[in-house]
Structure formats: structure tokens, C-alpha cells
Amino acid sequence: MRIWLAIRLFCKVLFDGHFARRVREQVDPPRAGVAGAVPEPAGRTREAAEGGQTARTARGAARSEAISLLAALQREARLVDLVKEPLGNYSDAQVGAAARDVLRDCGRVLDRFFDLQPLVDQEEGSVVDIPAEYDTGRYRLTGHVGSEPPRRGRLVHHGWVATRCEVPTWTGSAAARLVVAPEEVELPPPPNAEGSPL
């Protein structure tokens, strides 16, 4: 149950840009004086804009962090291969055996990028007090949600919080910025190489 909830959280961060930004703001709020924290002046000239574009091109093409994360999950855990593989020809045992390794390796990637920790240090099933003005980003209430505060309920899931967000910066080309996994091509040895047919 917890594995699937973790996967749902991961997918929410990966595919919902608004939700991902909210998580990032909580984990790594922008600081005054840090590059990118202050908006561009309204009177920015065309030359300055073009100069900024040139600088970005020199550093590498812009790439969504979601693509970088998905590429890491494919490279290190083969997640995309598992998700895109037609499963009709495999038994439940075969799918489960393949998923075990993929989920383990996905967990390592998520730990390295986000260091996910339980949002609350309480046992599931324990009683939780809900603040009157609770944050809907922190609490998801089910059951009799129309009850008046103060509210108390049973903890169904402790939630997850990213204690950091360290997705690697893309340094590749503009043409490859959307590539999740490069095509792999094995080249034969030269005709006269040792062990190769003459």
C-alpha cells in the first residue's frame, strides 16, 4: 500500500508542474539576492534578452527537471521499460519479480534526489488533531469532512515530504533535451580485430 502511495506522490510531482513548484517552494524557498529569485525589470531590452538567450545556449539547452528525473529513473531503474512493456504475455509472478528490482532502484533515485521522509512521525492508526485553519497541502481529509472544528481523526497515511530537491542540471544539446533514454547501438569490431571474422 505504501509503495503505491509513494508512486502516486512521485507521479504527481513529475507530471503536475503546479504541485511540483509548491513542493519545491516548501523545500527550497527562494532567497533574496539569489540569481533567479528576483524578476526581470519591466524595461528589459531586446539586446539584453538575446544576450541572456546566448548565455543559456552556451551553458546548455533548457530542459524540464521532470524529463531529467524520468531519464534518471529509466537509466538507473528501467522504469519506462517496465511501464511501456505489454504485460499481457507475462504471469503475475513474472511481473512482480521484474517490478521488485525496478521499485528498489527507483527508491534509490528518489532518495538521492529528494531524500523523502514521513511528513509526520506518528504510527498509522493513531489519533491526529487537525488545526482549525489547516493547510490543504499538508492534510487530505476523508470521511465526514463537513464536521466542525476541532477535528480529530485516525491517521491513514503519514504522508511524505521531500527534504531536498537536487535534480541534476541538463548540459546536453537542444536537440536532445526531450530524450528520456538514448537509443543504444552495439557496433561490431573492425574486420581485422582479434577474435573477429576475417
pLDDT at residue 32 in the model: 44
pLDDT at residue 119 in the model: 95
- Average pLDDT on 56-63 reads 60
Polymer length of the chain: 198
Residue 120 lies in a domain: yes
pLDDT confidence of 41, banded at 50, 70, 90?
very low
**Taking 50 as the threshold, does the pLDDT of residue 95 lie above it?**
yes
Residue 99 lies in a domain: yes
What domain count does the chain have? 1
Q: Which of 6-10, 52-56, 95-99, 150-154 has the lowest mean pLDDT?
A: 52-56
Can you tell me the distance from the alpha carbon of 49 to that of 186, in angstroms, rounded to the nearest whole number? 43
CB 80 within 8 A of CB 70: yes
Residue 141 lies in a domain: no
CB 87 within 8 A of CB 95: yes
Residue 111 lies in a domain: yes
**Taking 60 as the threshold, does the pLDDT of residue 131 lie above it?**
yes
Count of CA atoms in the C-beta half-sphere (13 A) of 102:
17
Question: Beta strand 160-162 with 151-154: parallel, antiparallel or unpaired?
Answer: unpaired
Neighbours of 189 (CB within 10 A): 10
**Taking 50 as the threshold, does the pLDDT of residue 65 lie above it?**
yes
pLDDT at residue 56 in the model: 44
Higher per-residue pLDDT: 66 or 7: 66
pLDDT at residue 157 in the model: 95
Residue 47 lies in a domain: no
- Mean pLDDT score across all residues of the chain: 79
Q: How far is CA 37 from the centre of its chain?
A: 22
Residue 187 lies in a domain: no
**Taking 80 as the threshold, does the pLDDT of residue 100 lie above it?**
yes
Residue 50 lies in a domain: no
The contacts of residue 77 (CB under 8 Å, 6+ apart) are: 101, 102, 103, 104, 105, 106, 108, 109
